């Protein structure tokens, strides 16, 4: 009987998927961010260069729990040309010091997903910053590729006819 319960629990745990991975468990002081945050900033906001990321459209998000210490976020970017890949959650403690938490979105949740958000379970969530990469329209790129191949074939056929004359 114990074996069946353990197998059932293992199957249940392995079937669940997380959309958000907490990269800074317990949050961080905004004046002293951890290395993972500074590395991310240096990678996606290099000095002297324009940012490589775009904020996805807010209308694609549903957020509950702003003003509390725990909340939820869900998103559906299927109508957008943007993916959702990172999330910063910020708030101030009673002394006015900013704290934050940094989440990574799992690749299978870049378009749709949901997750629980918190800073440290005490500080109230006041601000969210979501980041994702702009995805070019694939249909237009495919059509341009096909048109380019067609033009090359036409040029090749015309050149071949000229050479045989």
| pLDDT at residue 13 is higher than 50 | no
Q: Rounded CA gap, 49 and 44, in Å?
A: 9
Q: How many CB atoms lie within 10 A of CB 100?
A: 22
Tell me the longest C-alpha to C-alpha distance in the chain. Answer: 87
Mean pLDDT, all residues of the chain:
81
Range from 2-6, 85-89, 159-163 that averages highest in pLDDT: 85-89
- Percentage of the chain modeled with pLDDT above 70: 77
The gap from C-alpha 94 to its chain's centroid, in whole angstroms, comes to 30
pTM of the model: 0.69
Tell me what the mean pLDDT of segment 5-24 comes to: 63
Residue with tokens 């249909």: 139
Tokens (6 digits) for 35: 């290395």
């Amino acid at each position: 009987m114990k074996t069946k319960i353990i197998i059932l629990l293992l199957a249940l745990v392995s079937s669940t998927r997380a959309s958000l991975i907490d990269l800074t468990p317990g949050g961080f002081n905004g004046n002293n961010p951890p290395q993972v945050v500074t590395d991310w900033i240096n990678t996606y906001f290099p000095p002297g260069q324009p940012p490589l990321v775009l904020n996805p459209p807010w209308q694609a998000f549903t957020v509950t729990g702003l003003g509390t210490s725990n909340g939820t976020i869900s998103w559906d970017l299927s109508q957008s040309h943007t993916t959702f890949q990172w999330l910063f959650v910020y708030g101030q403690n009673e002394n006015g010091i900013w704290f934050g938490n940094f989440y990574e979105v799992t690749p299978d949740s870049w378009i749709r997903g949901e997750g629980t958000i918190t800073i440290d379970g005490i500080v109230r969530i006041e601000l969210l910053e979501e980041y994702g990469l702009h995805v070019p329209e694939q249909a237009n790129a495919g059509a341009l590729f096909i048109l380019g191949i067609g033009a090359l074939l036409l040029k090749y056929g015309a050149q071949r006819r000229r050479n045989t004359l």
